[in-house]
Amino acid sequence: MEIIEVRGGRTLAGSIAPPAAKNSVLPLLAATLLCGEPCRLRGVPRLTDVDTSLALLGAVGAKAARWGRDILTSPVPLLCGDIPPRLAGAMRSSVFYFAPLLVRVGQVRMPMPGGCRLGPRPVDIHLDGLAAMGAQIEFAADAVVLRRAGRLHGADFTLRLPSVGATETLLMAAACAQGTTVLRGAACEPEVEDLAAFLNACGARITGAGTPVVVIHGRAGGLDGCTFTPVPDRIAAATYAAAVASAGGDVTIRRCRPGHFATFLDFLRAAGCQVNAGPGAVRVCRDPHAPLKGGQEVFAAAWPGFATDTAPLAAAVLLTADAPSRVYDGLFQNRFACAAGFAALGAQVQANGRELRIGGGARLAGTVVTAPDLRGGAALVVAALAARGKTCVLDEGHIRRGYQALPDELAGLGAACRMA
């Protein structure tokens, strides 16, 4: 158990840059399995999900290792398609290994993937898309087994909803399939575009990534390698912005893509923060003596909507606002498990499935709370910055899955926040 200790009431100042996006790096690491030449991913943060990915790559026989701030991979002739249950269960992103191992090995045995308990997280779209490309799928008692008889082939496949992970699975499979694949109803998130950019840099032929219709001309001979810098983490950037909104202060978020979290910045403006976005940087200011504006209706949806991962952060900001608000998550059924922690801090909140109602006007006071998941845990840290006295956020390792050193980063901006 880790404990993040926060003493609220200090304003934040200075500047900070987000690392490479976790949700880009994780599929990129899996995609390196498709490459017949070495790859170098630049500036990869030290997250536990990245460590799990490196362990998973090692377990299937691949070569991938840290080299300073980068990760280097080199191709190996033989891989194994059996994912150890401990690694599959440690993160949702084990699903990214379906496609590359099916392409490379011809058979994959994947115990059911783990990850944050945000509600049911089926993998039917990943599997349906792979089946349309020629995979045979069987469900064993404790695992799903995928096989292919010949090569995977191109397909015209419509996703029943724009799943980020399934779009990424199918990009990887189609990049090395025989013939052309058309994906319709694809997810358009920046991390999907980033994966397509990486695959194209390795010789794939993908057009339309970042739009709902993606066309992939398969390169049956396999891919080359490349050196690639993943996109900056828009959720980490939004977390820093939320921290300034909660604590008050004046912080510049450098080396980020403001357009990638524009919905969150618009939300902060509506809540009464001053936000100035320029090329590659955003300045967020909030007068700690002026109350934040409530009366907000936030609705999280797929890109370009309000990002689901930032919904708990928005809720944390609104706890002390001057009027009631409502945050609704259209993607996950259990996004607001952090509500218990908000209530313990003294907020008036009511979680009802996908919806969180916030009374507003709370005077938060420090106490002991528990991080229920990654973003909910970060939201509790953000809320604690506005609480009187000491808050201890107990965390079973959720937060370090997505933030390399959140307490140190906030302390660098002047917060009284540390790993106890």
**Applying CB under 6 A, which of residues 20, 99, 110, 166 lies at the interface with ligand EPU?**
166
Note whether 296 binds ligand EPU by CB under 6 A: no
**Applying CB under 6 A, which of residues 14, 122, 259, 389 lies at the interface with ligand EPU?**
122
Residue 166 CB, nearest approach to ligand EPU (Å): 5
Q: Give whichever of 21 and 410 is closer to ligand EPU, judged by the CB atom.
A: 21
Residues numbered 390-419 forming contacts with ligand EPU, rule: CB under 6 A = 402
Residue 355 phi, psi (nearest 5): -110, 140
**Applying CB under 6 A, which of residues 94, 181, 308, 370 lies at the interface with ligand EPU?**
308
- Mark the segment that binds ligand EPU (CB under 6 A) among 187-195, 221-229, 270-278, 381-389: 187-195
**Applying CB under 6 A, which of residues 375, 382, 385, 415 lies at the interface with ligand EPU?**
375
Instruction: State the binding string over 2-41 for ligand EPU (x if CB under 6 A, else -).
Output: --------------------xx--x---------------
**Applying CB under 6 A, which of residues 92, 234, 257, 260 lies at the interface with ligand EPU?**
92
How distant is the alpha carbon of residue 286 from its chain centre? 26
Question: Count residues contacting ligand EPU (CB under 6 A)?
Answer: 28
Note whether 164 binds ligand EPU by CB under 6 A: yes
Residue 4 CB, nearest approach to ligand EPU (Å): 17
Task: List 395's β-bridge partners, or say none.
Answer: 2
- Alpha-carbon distance of 238 to 18, in angstroms, equals 9
Sheet containing 180-184: give its strands across.
Answer: 156-158, 180-184, 213-217, 205-207
DSSP helix/strand/coil, 28: helix
Note whether 332 binds ligand EPU by CB under 6 A: yes
Residue 116 is among the residues annotated as catalytic for this protein: yes
Sheet containing 325-329: give its strands across.
Answer: 297-300, 325-329, 355-358, 349-352
Could you check whether the bond before residue 212 is cis, i.e. omega within 30 degrees of 0? Answer: no
Q: Give whichever of 2 and 37 is closer to ligand EPU, judged by the CB atom.
A: 2
Note whether 374 binds ligand EPU by CB under 6 A: yes
- Asked whether the beta carbons of 409 and 241 are under 8 A apart, the reply is no
- Alpha-carbon distance of 21 to 300, in angstroms, equals 19
Cα–Cα separations (whole angstroms), residue 288 to 113, 308, 358, 361:
43, 27, 20, 14
- Asked whether the beta carbons of 140 and 108 are under 8 A apart, the reply is no
- Asked whether the beta carbons of 168 and 204 are under 8 A apart, the reply is no
Catalytic residue among 39, 116, 176, 226: 116
Structure tokens of 224?
A: 């080359």
Strands (E), 58-165: 63-67, 70-74, 107-111, 135-139, 143-148, 156-158
Catalytic (active-site) positions: 116
Site of interaction with ligand EPU (CB under 6 A): 22-23, 26, 92-93, 116, 120-126, 161, 163-166, 187, 189, 191, 308-309, 331-332, 374-375, 402
